[in-house]
Structure 1
Amino acid sequence: MKKLILIAFVALITGNVFAQASSDHDVIQLNDSSFKELVFDYENGKEWAFKGDKPVIVDFYATWCGPCKRIAPVLKQLQKEYGDDIQIYKVDTDKSPKVSAAFGIKSIPSLLFIPKTGKPTMAQGALPKETLVKAIKDVLGVNPPESLK
């Protein structure tokens, strides 16, 4: 019975995570467990092994953080402009302390740029849109859409 409840709970969480990924290309909120499922299992992985199928930006933030609030609409706009070429995730450092600690997050916002292959790169601060577009091209290897050229 406990196993059945656990399976139902995992299915519910997984369904909620994927339901958030609408055709509008939304930024998706992750927690400790969904991060392990969709990005990297930081508890069991000794070496980096990205689980995604497209380049990713992970925004480590907090709801009380002023710079985090300023960069949030920029990231949302970039997700819409890049569409299916990249995925942007958000991790609330207050609600997801394990994944935040695993990546050594000491200041926010911190952005983790994860190319489809290769090692991730971390950046700190509320970067301007132009800098983010350049990082998406240089680090993630994704050219900007026509609307950003």
Structure 2
Amino acid sequence: MRNLSVSLLGLQNHINIARNILEESESHLVDAASVMQNANETFLANEVVDCHDVLPGQSVINNKCEDILLQNSNLNPEHTDYAAMMAVIYNMMKQDFLMQERIVSALNLKLSSGELESYCLMWSLRPFINDDIMHEAWKLIR
């Protein structure tokens, strides 16, 4: 009985630590979104306005505008890839955390062995974590 109580306290501690990590990850995601928004606003304010400084009725984009758009298309996808990957990973972490939190809160002495086995299986399978996405994330940061 004592071992079960100690194990349950350990799991609750795990949940508290995971919650803190999730909250920290969320703040990094908010920061990344803010940086992307500011970068896009700066780009639009500084560069795209210049692209539209053409004569009325002129349909051809000038060379300066074309260069700016090409530079932006070469740089922005990498940054947006990072931000999008952060959002996807955060959502996977959050879903996994919520599942673990539900499992830990449901643990008690009245659980049948079948219920306990299904919780163990769900915990070990980590159904919300996509390995392919995690491998892509590692490629982005290497």
Rg (Cα) greater in structure = 2
TM-score by length of 2: 0.20
TM-score by length of 1: 0.20
Where is the helix percentage greater, Structure 1 or Structure 2?
A: 2
Higher relative contact order (CA 8 A, sep 6+): 2
